Amino acid sequence: MATNKEKQGNEQFQLGAFLTKYSMVIALVIVFILFYFLTDGRLLYAQNMSNLLLQNGYVLVMACGMLLCILTGGNIDLSVGSVICLVGGVAAVLITNQGFNIYLTILLCLFLGLAAGVWQGYWIGYIRIPPFITTLGGMFIFRGFGRLVLDSKTVSVQDTTFLNIFTAYIQIPGLDNGERILSPLVVGILVVIFIFYRTVSSRANKEKKGYRQNSALADFGRTSLISLVLLAYCYLLSQYKGISVMLLWVVAVCLLYHFITSKTAFGRYFYAVGGNEKATQLSGIDTNKVYFIAYANMGLLAGLCGLLCLARVGSVNGATGTSFEMDAIGSCFIGGASAYGGSGTVSGVIIGALLLGVINMGMSIMGIGDSWQYVVKGGVLLLAVIFDVVSNRKSGK
């Protein structure tokens, strides 16, 4: 009886709840449509759409790590950009100047990123130095080391093995040849089949256990919409070079962190610490370790980003990665992460990063300069958070 009653109540408020829940998705769609017209449709060119994800890939990867830091209580990591410079610099120098083994270099660089994260995580988690200070220090220290390694020069990488690992486009024999690229479509269809299968099996499972269900229309509508967007995107990819390895890296990281934050015990501890650290501690959870892992992990992902950036740009210099951390932080907050910690999701962060990406790309296509892009990005960040705060207040918080 109680569940029935609740269901009715829910349905009454559906529209309002829907708007609040998907506000950022709606915002993304609106911005997308806006720039579509402002750029006379050029935004939707296959090359631009392919680049949208590739250019923002590093932001997505960083933002996943940043989300964990922010969850612990609105704490941010300012050193990410510098770690990217350091790791990218070390990789470039080892590969180009020293002729090091590529795989060994990659491992070493990931380890270097992790080490930077461990260094900061230790101070933040176990000695309780405020994250802002610790990572501000890290921002200077790692930038300095990066420039030392690079000897204040620009070092480029031409090694094809290295570039292939991160930036090549996948060619599946039989499906793809120089003229026609079918692999994105095949992958897209497979993924869509998988998504539909998951929806059906999850509904069946809920039915069997007698849990409350969304209406079939809502569930399948949502799934269909996602599938449609996915297929359209895959079609565009097939019009321009196909699937990049970079895309696989980014998707893998996003899926992994989505899984960690929503399904694992350890992921849940980040929310608990951000929600109420004292209560979490008294629940037998090592909160020091939670902080430590958040920042150690951020270092690791920054290391990966360093490699991704190096591969995409092809070179690294002392200014590489400057203010990249701000893009990651911005994506998290635009994507609905709380500035006080305790709430935020990977899917939200992805939407946030894409929103920033579309704005960047749209303005670039229109030929609007960097300076204005900064103004607009800042405005969007502020607006998103204002909207979040105000709508929370309205819903009786």
Partner 1 sequence: MGGAAVPPAFINRKGEKFLADVILEMKSITKEFPGVKALSDVNLVVERGEIHALIGENGAGKSTLMNVLSGTYPVGSYTGEIFYNGELCQFKTLKDSEAKGIVIIHQELALIPLLTIGENMFLGNEKKNKMGHIDWDMTYNEAEKHMRQVGLNESAQTLIKDIGTGKQQLVEIAKAFSKNVKLLILDEPTSSLNDEDAKMLLDLLIEFKKNGLTSIIITHKLNEIIYCADKATIIRDGSTIETLVKGVDEFSEDRIIKGMVGRPMDDRYPVREHKIRPEVGLEIKNWTVYHPLYHEKIVDNKISLKVHKGEVVGISGLQGAGRTELAMSIFGKSYGTNISGELYLNGEKIELKSPEQAIRHGIAYVTEDRKTNGLILEESIRFNTTLARLDKVCQNNVIDTTAEKSVAEDMTKAMGTKTPSIEQKVGNLSGGNQQKVLLGKWMFTEPNVLILDEPTRGIDVGAKYDIYCLVNQMVEEGKSVIMISSEMPELIGMCDRIYVMNEGELRGELDAKEATQEKIMSFIIRATEE
Find the binder of partner 1 among 244, 280, 317, 360 (CB under 8 A).
280
Min CB(308)–partner 1 separation in Å:
28
Applying CB under 8 A, among 284, 367, 371, 393 the residue interacting with partner 1 is 284
Q: Which of 1, 127, 217, 265 binds partner 1 (CB under 8 A)?
A: 265
Instruction: Indicate the residue among 242 and 344 with the shorter CB distance to partner 1.
Output: 344
Q: Does 355 bind partner 1 (CB under 8 A)?
A: no
**Eight-class DSSP state of 56:** H
**Mind giving me the DSSP string for 174-226?**
TTB-SS---HHHHHHHHHHHHHHHHHHHHHHHHHHHT-----HHHHHHHHHHH
Stretch that binds partner 1, among 2-10, 144-152, 245-253, 371-379 (CB under 8 A): 2-10
Neighbours of 136 (CB within 10 A): 14
Q: Which residue has the tokens 């321009």?
A: 240
Q: What gap in Å lies between CA 321 and CA 116, rounded to an integer?
A: 15
To which residue do tokens 């083994």 refer? 101
Question: HSE-up of 14 (CA within 13 Å, CB side)?
Answer: 8
Q: Is 2 in the site for partner 1 (CB under 8 A)?
A: yes
Q: How far is CA 395 from the centre of its chain?
A: 28
Chain positions 30 to 89 lying near partner 1, rule: CB under 8 A, are none
Among 140, 197, 266, 374, binds partner 1 (CB under 8 A): 266
Place of tokens 């610099």: 89
Task: For the segment 211-230, give every residue that binds partner 1 (CB under 8 A).
Answer: 211
Max Cα distance, the chain (Å): 72
Does residue 275 bind partner 1 (CB under 8 A)? yes
Q: Are 120 and 299 within 8 A, CB to CB? A: yes
Neighbours of 325 (CB within 10 A): 25
The interface with partner 1 within residues 171-200 (CB under 8 A) comprises none
Site string for partner 1, 315-354 (x = CB under 8 A): ---------------------------xx-----------
For residue 270, the one-letter residue type is F
Q: How far is the CB of 230 from partner 1 (least distance, A)?
A: 25
Applying CB under 8 A, the span of 182-190, 219-227, 232-240, 270-278 interacting with partner 1 comes to: 270-278
| Residue 252 sits in the site that holds partner 1 (CB under 8 A) | no
Q: Which residue has the tokens 């000695």?
A: 127
Using CB under 8 A as the criterion, which residues of the chain lie in contact with partner 1 when the complex forms? 2-3, 6, 9, 13, 205, 209, 211, 263-266, 268, 271-272, 275-276, 278-286, 342-343, 395-396
